[in-house]
Chain A
């Protein structure tokens, strides 16, 4: 096939002037990416417009609904044990999840990319030190790590971010390190050294942009995992303090009445599934699109 490699490259070259538009078009050409994008944007829009949507307050109790929490015209998805509107709590819960998860991942990416970049670029004892510490952290069961951390420092957004960073940064570091190990052998890195660029410049300007694709896909997947983690923490009672709406917490509350009203636990569970699935499909789709 070597005979052909020259030409398709140039064909694509002629058309790349409208790269942005093409990429957006491509996003919808991959069905996986399109479905993922749809699921994620559904929740993002819902969370964004929650205050203007015709919803009951997520914290106000409706005493009348306590007797019959099943779905009705007033409460489309029913109410919870305290008579609060489930639909409203789901949508307001999305606000929490969609703030905490991306924020946690962003901080974890920042830390992970930094340590991975340092380990990969410098190698030697720096690499050895970073890699061994990462190995130890990665060997810890993640949930146990969360429970120990949150139980000790108390549940809050900041603490969830700290816990996620400690749990995810080593993995992100590893990915970055392996990417950098391959890229630093490239001749353009040698060329940069020969024109006197310093190490920081080479890492940020020459190496980082070429890691971009893989790291974006990884970030998407990690947001999904973090949503599950936040759910688990909520379920264990280590989520955000009440009365904040919290998907994991909602599943937990409903377990006491699981035999009577199973729907009550299914709605928040479904919310978690759809959002996580959305992020995973989006990541898969982006990976497909990365390929030439």
Chain B
């Protein structure tokens, strides 16, 4: 393997001093299909300077990951760079020989992929996989390689590196795996690190830690970053320059500050308005969705690709081919819009209809609900323990917490997909906690419906899109006869703003957003009094997310449906919910109204969650970041005292490990389970800068 490292003269050609590290010019990437070829990236030019962090943002299908693959030379057998150039340190990568690419990969450019589990080899130890990098690229001895691997593991803040080297990938948590992948990428001392959605699968507090780590390592190793993400908040905080991609081309480029304060392109503006910001609640503004959808590569319009969805479209100007990326009045701010001077930012701050503030009658009440699973070796897995809360009629209660906190188990118990081990779920004076779905009478099933998380599995691929809506209408006797059912089904599709023509399509012919709308229509088809929405929009793109959430809230308000809204996204929850229940490791940590939770006096865990939120608005960033150490304990061996004690940054003392925390009642609705005194909880500075002002 030493040949690959033995540096050939032309490979060390030092680039001219001021030329960028990575230079992409007029890149066009095509994928060859059976009949037609598909243009994934139509024209793309940007630079990454040495030591710079460049963010590439866009929704799925915009070509951002394809670009990363092209840089790495991994387009696969059917993809090819049709036109343009990718230059790295002055060397052309398009059409370069395998040998040249090999010498660059790892040492010159390294990549961190979205899914760490598929980037690590499950049958090799972490040590063997890490040591391979310096062995191959730096030509060091085996012992040296292992020493370097151990040192790097320490740098990425993994505990006990010596022990970690001997482990296998499956013995690590998702966050730890991603750290190992980052360590692996950095071991080759690359000058450019490509990060393709590096934190997408991770929990918010873990994400926060990984992002900190990347920033710190970047400073230490002077590595340039190309950061690809759909998360605008993340990009805004970590990058020096941001490029917004839409449908295969760059539509705007600027420094994050300028971009998010003064977005020039209508798409960027729309995207920013789609994002729920942590600083504003449900009654402040509605999320604005961008009308229409991203054009398919085969149906991109001539001229501006965003034209069909743009309110400011002007014939004769926007439909001219070859619109350039123009500079604006700000230095380094480029925009591909001929009308950027005229485009006025129309932020729709529609205040939603006022909500009756009188405390509504309770619609569902959970009291001391526990769920225990028996697992191997006669151990017990406590998924939920003593969960109590209630939801009033037409109220939206959000269940918040990271993965493994038991929020989905709770949803399964309420719907009857699972039975509670103990406790009560009271709906209309009846305890339904121990009734599973097939034991429940029709009327009870009808009154509780669910919207699921994954649009890919929510509809049966063998049946038409409207199949389950029709069945639901028939089973619950809402309509009698074929014509009546079809009529009602069409009304429901119109209610979720879908064309009735989609009814007979197969799910594979629908987009994620359309499938999720069908799922909403199906849930409401039964005329339920309670809807459980389990992360209904977490798998969707931001612009689609905004549209689906707005729709869901709209229907919910019109029908006065009670809703349990399960989510990990606090900013979204602030826009959606009336009350919030924060859970950690199967137990409720805190519950209260939205204003109370975001009002400043919170549980240390809520505080950590709030501080991990990334905002695109530079004025609304959390004042301080609270970093949680360690991992969530296993639900099989739960801590005896407070569940959060092992990671709590505000631990009082040994009492936290010993005794379950008392309930601190701050108001009629606000409860915090913590050993810290109520007064002390509130004495800290607010994590959110404007938390006080918006609550007022």
Residues of A within 8 A of B (CB): 1-13, 16, 186-188, 190-199, 205-206, 209-210, 212
In contact, A7 and B417 (Cβ under 8 angstroms): no
Given contacts A1-B76, A188-B459, A210-B461, 18 further A-B contacts (CB under 8 A): A3-B60, A6-B511, A9-B508, A9-B509, A10-B511, A11-B36, A187-B457, A190-B452, A191-B458, A191-B522, A193-B417, A195-B445, A195-B475, A195-B476, A196-B446, A197-B471, A209-B463, A210-B460
Residues on B with C-beta less than 8 A from A11 are 33, 36, 38, 296-298
Q: A2-B114, A16-B506 are in contact. Are A194 and B450 (CB under 8 A)?
A: yes
Contact of B69 among A1, A190, A191 (CB under 8 A): A1
Instruction: State whether the Cβ of B454 lies closer than 8 Å to any Cβ in chain A.
Output: yes
* Most chain A C-beta atoms within 10 Å of own C-beta, residue among B31, B296, B511, B512: B296
A187 to B415, CA, bound (A): 13
The chain A residue with its CB closest to the CB of B453 is A187
In contact, A187 and B69 (Cβ under 8 angstroms): no
Instruction: State whether the Cβ of B526 lies closer than 8 Å to any Cβ in chain A.
Output: yes
Q: Could you tell me the distance in whole angstroms from the C-beta of B16 to the nearest C-beta in chain A?
A: 32
Q: Could you tell me the distance in whole angstroms from the C-beta of A192 to the nearest C-beta in chain B?
A: 7
Residues on A with C-beta less than 8 A from B415 are 190, 194
Instruction: State whether the Cβ of B61 lies closer than 8 Å to any Cβ in chain A.
Output: yes
Can you list 9 A-B contacts (CB < 8 A)?
A1-B65, A4-B66, A13-B509, A187-B453, A192-B468, A193-B438, A194-B450, A195-B471, A210-B460
Residues on A with C-beta less than 8 A from B675 are none
A11 to B197, CA, bound (A): 25
The 6 closest A-B pairs by CB, nearest first: A209-B462, A13-B509, A6-B61, A3-B65, A187-B452, A188-B460
Q: Could you tell me the distance in whole angstroms from the C-beta of A19 to the nearest C-beta in chain B?
A: 9
Q: How large is the interface on B (under 10, 10 to 19, 20 to 34, 35 or more residues)?
A: 35 or more
Residues on B with C-beta less than 8 A from A3 are 40, 60-66
In contact, B450 and A191 (Cβ under 8 angstroms): yes
Contact of A1 among B66, B298, B437, B463 (CB under 8 A): B66
Instruction: State whether the Cβ of B449 lies closer than 8 Å to any Cβ in chain A.
Output: yes
Contact of B60 among A6, A12, A195, A205 (CB under 8 A): A6
In contact, A196 and B445 (Cβ under 8 angstroms): yes
In contact, A187 and B437 (Cβ under 8 angstroms): no
Interface string of B623-659 (1 = CB under 8 A from A): 0000000000000000000000000000000000000
Residues on A with C-beta less than 8 A from B471 are 192, 195, 197
* Most chain A C-beta atoms within 10 Å of own C-beta, residue among B62, B197, B471: B471
A191 to B66, CA, bound (A): 35
Instruction: State whether the Cβ of B559 lies closer than 8 Å to any Cβ in chain A.
Output: no
Instruction: State whether the Cβ of B442 lies closer than 8 Å to any Cβ in chain A.
Output: yes
Instruction: State whether the Cβ of B472 lies closer than 8 Å to any Cβ in chain A.
Output: yes
Q: A4-B61, A6-B60 are in contact. Are A196 and B442 (CB under 8 A)?
A: yes
In contact, B461 and A197 (Cβ under 8 angstroms): no
In contact, A194 and B31 (Cβ under 8 angstroms): no
Interface string of B257-280 (1 = CB under 8 A from A): 000000000000000000000000
In contact, B40 and A4 (Cβ under 8 angstroms): yes
Q: Could you tell me the distance in whole angstroms from the C-beta of A126 to the nearest C-beta in chain B?
A: 15
Residues on A with C-beta less than 8 A from B64 are 3
The chain A residue with its CB closest to the CB of B512 is A6
In contact, A210 and B462 (Cβ under 8 angstroms): yes
Secondary structure class of chain A's binding surface, majority of residues? helix
Interface string of B501-525 (1 = CB under 8 A from A): 0000110111110000001001000
A8 to B416, CA, bound (A): 38
Contact of A191 among B452, B476, B505 (CB under 8 A): B452
Residues on B with C-beta less than 8 A from A10 are 296, 509, 511
Contact of B509 among A1, A4, A16 (CB under 8 A): A16
* Most chain B C-beta atoms within 10 Å of own C-beta, residue among A4, A9, A186, A195: A195
Residues on A with C-beta less than 8 A from B519 are 191
In contact, A2 and B60 (Cβ under 8 angstroms): yes
Q: A196-B442, A196-B476 are in contact. Are A7 and B526 (CB under 8 A)?
A: no
The chain B residue with its CB closest to the CB of A185 is B457
In contact, A195 and B472 (Cβ under 8 angstroms): yes
Residues on B with C-beta less than 8 A from A8 are 33, 38
Q: Could you tell me the distance in whole angstroms from the C-beta of B461 to the nearest C-beta in chain A?
A: 6
Q: Could you tell me the distance in whole angstroms from the C-beta of B678 to the nearest C-beta in chain A?
A: 41
Q: Could you tell me the distance in whole angstroms from the C-beta of A140 to the nearest C-beta in chain B?
A: 32
Residues on A with C-beta less than 8 A from B461 are 210
In contact, A187 and B417 (Cβ under 8 angstroms): no
A3 to B415, CA, bound (A): 35
A41 to B66, CA, bound (A): 45
Residues on A with C-beta less than 8 A from B452 are 187, 190-191
Residues on B with C-beta less than 8 A from A206 are 460
* Interface positions of B from 294 to 342, Cβ below 8 Å from A: 294, 296-298
A210 to B197, CA, bound (A): 32
Residues on A with C-beta less than 8 A from B63 are 3-4
A194 to B38, CA, bound (A): 41
In contact, B506 and A187 (Cβ under 8 angstroms): no
Residues on B with C-beta less than 8 A from A205 are 463
Q: A1-B66, A192-B468, A209-B463 are in contact. Are A7 and B61 (CB under 8 A)?
A: yes
Residues on A with C-beta less than 8 A from B460 are 186, 188, 192, 206, 209-210
A194 to B540, CA, bound (A): 24
A183 to B438, CA, bound (A): 19
In contact, B296 and A188 (Cβ under 8 angstroms): no
Residues on B with C-beta less than 8 A from A6 are 60-61, 294, 511-512
A198 to B61, CA, bound (A): 40
Q: Could you tell me the distance in whole angstroms from the C-beta of A212 to the nearest C-beta in chain B?
A: 8
A197 to B505, CA, bound (A): 23
Residues on A with C-beta less than 8 A from B40 are 3-4, 7
Q: Could you tell me the distance in whole angstroms from the C-beta of A273 to the nearest C-beta in chain B?
A: 33
In contact, A194 and B457 (Cβ under 8 angstroms): no
A199 to B439, CA, bound (A): 12
A5 to B614, CA, bound (A): 27
The chain B residue with its CB closest to the CB of A6 is B61
Q: A2-B60, A6-B511 are in contact. Are A188 and B468 (CB under 8 A)?
A: yes
In contact, B449 and A194 (Cβ under 8 angstroms): yes
In contact, A190 and B65 (Cβ under 8 angstroms): no
In contact, A187 and B458 (Cβ under 8 angstroms): yes
The chain A residue with its CB closest to the CB of B36 is A11
A134 to B505, CA, bound (A): 40
A16 to B504, CA, bound (A): 13
A115 to B38, CA, bound (A): 46
A1 to B460, CA, bound (A): 25
Q: Could you tell me the distance in whole angstroms from the C-beta of A116 to the nearest C-beta in chain B?
A: 18
A11 to B462, CA, bound (A): 19
Residues on B with C-beta less than 8 A from A193 are 416-417, 437-438
A11 to B454, CA, bound (A): 22
Q: A6-B61, A187-B452, A190-B450 are in contact. Are A199 and B33 (CB under 8 A)?
A: no
Q: Could you tell me the distance in whole angstroms from the C-beta of B404 to the nearest C-beta in chain A?
A: 18
In contact, B296 and A194 (Cβ under 8 angstroms): no
Q: Could you tell me the distance in whole angstroms from the C-beta of B683 to the nearest C-beta in chain A?
A: 45
Residues on B with C-beta less than 8 A from A191 are 450, 452, 458, 468, 519, 522
A209 to B467, CA, bound (A): 14
Residues on B with C-beta less than 8 A from A198 are 438
A210 to B507, CA, bound (A): 13
Residues on A with C-beta less than 8 A from B416 are 193-194
* Interface positions of B from 189 to 244, Cβ below 8 Å from A: 197
Q: A186-B457, A187-B454 are in contact. Are A194 and B61 (CB under 8 A)?
A: no
Contact of A197 among B69, B294, B475 (CB under 8 A): B475
